[in-house]
Chains A and B, each alone.
Chain A
C-alpha cells in the first residue's frame, strides 16, 4: 500500500529491535558472568574430574564392546565360547599391544562373516599380522578379510598386501590366506617388540587401568548413592574429597618439616608401615575384599584359578555331551512316532484286504435278523480284537435280556388275569345251568357282582399296557411281534436317532461300512 506521508513533530521513541537487542545483551552479560563463576569453581577440580570421566568412559566403552561381542557369539550359536574368546582377546592384547577396544570389533566382524570361533580367531591373528605389516587399520583389514570370507576379494586387493590377481580371482580362501600368512606371519609379534611395542603395551596397561578404575568408580558411586540417589552421593563425595585433600596437604607439610630434621628419611618407612597397619591399609583391604565379593568370587591364587578354569572346562564339556545325548534321544522319539504312524497305516490297509473280515461284513449287511447281526458283530469284534465293540455288544445283549424279562412278566400277569376270568365264567355257567329255580333277579345280581369284581383287573391291565405305549399281539402264537406306537415322532427325530447311533458306533471304532467298502 502506498504510504506517502508528511510527518509533523516527530519524536524519537526508540526502535523495538534496539530494545530487543538491549534486553538480549543484558541477558547475555548475566549468563556470561554466571558461567564465569561456574568455570572458576569447576576449574580446580577439572583435572581430577577429567581423569574420572575418562576412566568411566573407558570402562563403559569396554563393557559395551564386550556385551556386543557376547551377543554376536550368542547370535552365531557360539555362546558357550564366550569365556574362551574373552581370554583369547586378553592374551592377544597383552602379546601384541593392540587394545581390546580394537580387537573386539575386529573379531566380531570376522565372527559375523564366518560364524565360526576358530576361523575368526585365525582370521584375527592374520588381520593383526597384515595390519602390522601394511600399516593399515585393524578394522579395515578385518573387514576386508570378512568380505573375502563372503566371496568379495576387492577390499583385500586394496590393502596393498601384494596378492596376485590370479590368486584373488581364484576365490580360494585357503590359497589367499596361505599367501597372506606366508607374507605377513609374525609381523604383529615383531611390532610388539622394541620401543614402539613397549609403548603400545604400556598404553594397553594404561587403558586397562583406566577401565578398572572406571568400573570401581561406578561401583563406588552406586554404593555411596544408596537410597539417597546420586544427590547424596555427590554430597558425600565432595565431603570425602575435602577431607582427603586436607590430609594430603597435612602430610606434605609434615614431610617438609621432617626432612629439615637430620635423619628424617624415616618418613618413607613410616608411610609404608602406616599403609599396612593404619586406617588406609585397612581401607585398602576392605575395598579389595568388597570388590571380590561383588564380583561373586573370593580372591583366588593362580593355582585356584587354574583349577576353576579346568572345572569350568569340564562342566562345559559335560554340558555339551548332555546336549548331544538329549539330541539323540529326541531324534529317536521322532523316529518312533513316525514308525507308529506307519504301522497304523499298514494295519488299516491289512484290514481292508482281510477276506474273512470282508465276508463277515457282507453277511452283516445281508442279514435282517437282530440276533444274527449281533452274532456277526461279536465275531467281527473278536476278529479285530475290538474291545469297545465287544463291550457294546455285551450291553446290547443285556438290554435285550432285560426287555425279554419284562415281556415275560407282562405275559404272566395277562395269563393270571385270563385264568381268573375263565374261573369266573365257569362259575357263572354253573350258576346259570344248575340253578334253574333261582330267581332271575338273584342271578343278575350275582353276575353283576362278578363283573364288577373283574372290571378293575381289566382296567388295570389296560392302563398298564397303555403306559408302556405298546400293544402285544399274541395271536400269531409263535414269537411275539412288538408294534411300537411312535405317535408324535417325525422323520427328523428318527433320522437324528439313527445318526446318533451311527456316531456312537463310529466312536466305539465300529464302522457301519464293511472293510473294503468305498
Chain B
C-alpha cells in the first residue's frame, strides 16, 4: 500500500501552470531518486530464466533480456486514477509482457488454487516482498531500497510545495 498524500495532484497542476521551472526541477529530483531503483531492477534481468523461454514461436511471450530491461522504467507525472480512485504521483513500471511474467510468476492471491505448473515459477527463483508487492525485478529492487525512494519522493514533493507557497507568498 503506497503512502498517501493530499494535494499532491493539485500541487503538480499549480506547478505546471504557475511555476513550470519548479515543476521540472521537482520531476528531475524525483527521477534522480527512482533511477537507482530502476537500475537495480534491470540488473536482476538474466539472459534467460528458463532454457526454452528465449526460443521464438508460439503465442507465449518470448523472453528477450534487452526488451525486458527496456520495459523497466519510471514515471514522474501523476497517473490516471485507478479503479479505487487513487492517483500515483510517481511510478516504477515493468511494462514488457515477458518481464511482467518473470516478475510475477508464482504469485497468487490468498485462497486461490495453486498453479497447475508450479515448476515454471519455481525454476525462476523466489519472489521478494510481501502481499501483492512481491516480485523478482522491480518489486525486489523496491524491497531492497527499504522505502528510501518513497521518502525521497515525498520529501521532494513537500519541498516543491513549500517553495511554491513561498513563491506565491502564502502560508
Contact = CB atoms under 8 A, between A and B. Distances in A.
Interface in B135-151: 135, 138-139, 142, 149-150
B133 interface: yes
B124 interface: no
Interface in A1-49: 1-16, 18
Given A2-B100, A5-B92, A5-B94, A10 B4 contact: yes
A285 to B, nearest CB: 76
B85 to A, nearest CB: 4
Contacts of B142: 6
Interface in B49-92: 78-79, 81, 83-92
B9 A13 contact: yes
B81 A15 contact: yes
Contacts of A16: 81
B97 A2 contact: yes
Contacts of B157: 9
Contacts, number: 99
Contact of B5 (A4, A11, A14): A11
Nearest to A13: B87
B128 to A, nearest CB: 13
A15 B84 contact: yes
Tell me what chain B mostly uses at the interface: helix, strand, loop, or mixed.
mixed
A386 B4 CA distance: 124
Nearest to A15: B85
A14 B99 CA distance: 31
Q: Which of A4, A12, A14, A15 has the most CB of B within 10 A?
A: A4
B114 to A, nearest CB: 21
Contact of A9 (B5, B135, B139): B5
Given A11-B9, A15-B83, A5 B104 contact: no
Residue of A5, A6, A12, A13 most packed against chain B (CB within 10 A): A6
Nearest to B33: A8
A14 B103 contact: no
B153 interface: yes
B16 interface: no
Contact of B92 (A3, A6, A11, A12): A6
Contact of B2 (A3, A9, A15): A9
Interface of A: 1-16, 18
- 10 closest pairs, A vs B, by CB? A2-B100, A7-B88, A15-B85, A8-B90, A9-B89, A4-B94, A6-B92, A10-B2, A10-B86, A7-B2
